[in-house]
Structure 1
Amino acid sequence: MDLLLWRHAEAVDGTPDLTRALTERGQKQARKVAQWLTDNRPKHLRVLVSPALRTRQTASAFADDFEIVPALAPDKGVADILAATGWPEGRGAALLVGHQPALGQLAALLLSGHEADWTIKKGSLWWFTNRVRDGETQTVLRTVVPPDLL
């Protein structure tokens, strides 16, 4: 299974949190990463998105067809996210458009085996693959794509 973590692009400050929209810069960040994804996407990709407006706007730069998943909301944690994706046993690939701190904590868990407060930069994409080698399950970080380097 492939698991792609895409932190929403830059959004305006304010409340209520779920209605915060992308800034002009955030829209540009989303378009850049979306173009990279279009060129490099894995096959059989499901797009799962937090209910927040900023995540839906980020995902919309890439796909019109995505699932809004309450388990990806800003107040949810790593266990909620993993349950929603089926990682690592699932098939195909899942692109999650979500929030800090949960995405950073999930990245830390996947790479180190422990949740930690890692930061995924706004608009950035982290792509993980799960595989079995010599009977051992491994998580591989395939790439990190920050919008400011595209």
Structure 2
Amino acid sequence: MRLILMRHAKSSWDDFTQPDHSRPLNDRGRRNARALGAWLRSNDYLPDKVLCSTATRTRETLDLLELGASVVYPEDLYHASPETLLRSLQGASGNTVLILGHNPGIGSFASRVVAHRPDHPRFGAYPTGATLVASFDIPRWADLSLNSGTVDAFITPRDLAEQP
């Protein structure tokens, strides 16, 4: 089984009166989301199921990834805790699941779900667009336990911008 944990791309703060849930991506966030989608496709990290927060910025990130997977929008993924993310994943179907969410929950869950953290200077901060790909030797998500995943990849939009 494979898990992709992604924090939404960079959101806009142009309108400070806008409710947090409604904030869209900014221009950089839209560029980064497209680049992350290209990276996922080029590395064959293609989900067959997506669990996505209902927030505007997560939905927009997902649309720009252009992955074509089946999507579910659980209400409790908006600013979800690591415990909520674990429960959601344990109830998921699909061999490769993408969870698209928010910090601090998504970054904390990423740290807790793998046996060994990747050697990347930005992993602890889990910046916008940060994406962890991890594999698990389990037959179904219901059997998932913390500290059991093997890191396949970890990347940030800045890493993609620095690649030739």
- TM-score class, shorter-chain normalisation, is 0.7 to 0.9
Pick one of 74, 78, 84 that aligns with 1:73: 78
Q: Which runs of 5+ in 1 are unaligned?
A: none
Match of 2:149 in 1: 139
Residue 11 of structure 2 is aligned to residue 11 of structure 1: yes
Residue 86 of structure 2 is aligned to residue 82 of structure 1: yes
What amino acid is the match of 2:155? V
Q: Give the secondary structure class of the aligned counterpart of 2:6.
A: strand
Pick one of 122, 133, 136 that aligns with 1:127: 133
Q: CA deviation at 1:78?
A: 1.0
1:38-78 residue CA offsets vs partner (Å, 9 max, x unmatched)? 2223466211110000000000012355221222111x211
Q: CA deviation at 1:149?
A: 2.0
Structure 2 CA distance, aligned partners of 1:31 and 1:108? Answer: 25
Q: Which runs of 5+ in 2 are unaligned?
A: 117-123, 139-144
8 Å Cα contact 1:43/1:92 also seen in 2: no
Say what the alpha-carbon RMSD is for the aligned residues: 2.5
Match of 1:35 in 2: 38
Q: CA deviation at 1:112?
A: 5.5
8 Å Cα contact 1:33/1:124 also seen in 2: no
8 Å Cα contact 2:40/2:46 also seen in 1: no
- TM-score, with structure 1 as normaliser: 0.82
Q: Percent identity?
A: 26
The structure that is strand-richer by fraction is 1
Distance 1:51 1:110, change over 3 A: same
- TM-score, with structure 2 as normaliser: 0.76
